[in-house]
Amino acid sequence: MATERQRGSFSSRDEDRLGDATEGPRGPGSRPRRPRPGGPRHVERVSVASARLQEEAVSTYHRLDMAITQRPLAVRRDLIRIFGEDRLVAVIRTGSPQIARQAARAMSEAGVRLVEITLTVPDAFEIIEELALDDSFGERGSIVGAGTVLSGAQAEQALSAGARFLVSAVLVPEMIEAARSRDAMSMPGTMTPTEMVKAAELGADFIKVFPVSTIGGPDFIANVRRALIHLPLVATGNIDLEEIPDYFRAGVVGFGIGGPLIRTDLLERGDLGSVIANAERYLNATRRPATN
């Protein structure tokens, strides 16, 4: 009985039976032997601990998933309307996750509503998830999207993290399909008229022309629009503030702008005010004038 009480205080009855089979004979009054590392009892404990960790990970995932789904999601028609009003997507591309976070919040404070985190940013999916759950970011009307999406798998992962629009530098049919299946907005990248028409046939909401400044700028857009006037082209690349009127005259419906809009050099110096002021100037230049 004394031996049974010692074993019972150490583990459950099932583990007692396991111990009887693995610990060897004991003499009267002998102390219970410590289970050998790697023995059956050790394996059982590792399995239990591993199962608990897995349960905790699943629980955390479901809490995040519920938090995202409980928040009212911007649907595709809302995003199309917002882009039609602001005509601007802020493209965040940096090698520093911290600078990316600062840039996203600076764009939000400036009133930019569509904020793209490119998947080239380290920890991009994590940042997208953080912004999707950030109350202050959402209360200012900002919506996070994912850029440089190069596969259907990346598209699904970005949407699951909370991205509500998807952008790519190239034409990825699976990205367009994933966005439409989740009621999100898509903006694939193109460079030739053939790619532009194909993107429209696949159901893209807007057609990104990239890198627009390298392939002819406003003149290229104007030439394409003479033949393909129905395509909703979005100029993307290194577009300076003073070039915006020229692109509008050429026929673009909006812009995706990175470096000139988001001055990471100012962010690195901690000059948040200048970053916000610069973004406000761009937004004032692209935003559609209010009508009474």
Which residues partner with 91 through β-bridges? 116
Phi and psi torsions of 141, nearest 5°: 90, 5
Q: What is the mean pLDDT of residues 84-92?
A: 99
Show the tokens assigned to 287: 């935003």
Domain 74-286 class in CATH? alpha beta
> What are 98-139's pLDDT values in tens digits?
999 999 999 999 999 999 999 999 999 999 999 999 999 999
pTM, two decimals, is: 0.77
Q: Tokens for 209?
A: 């022309």
Q: How far is CA 213 from CA 25, 104, 181, in A?
A: 83, 24, 32
- Predicted local confidence at residue 41, as pLDDT: 54
Q: Which residues are catalytic?
A: 116, 208
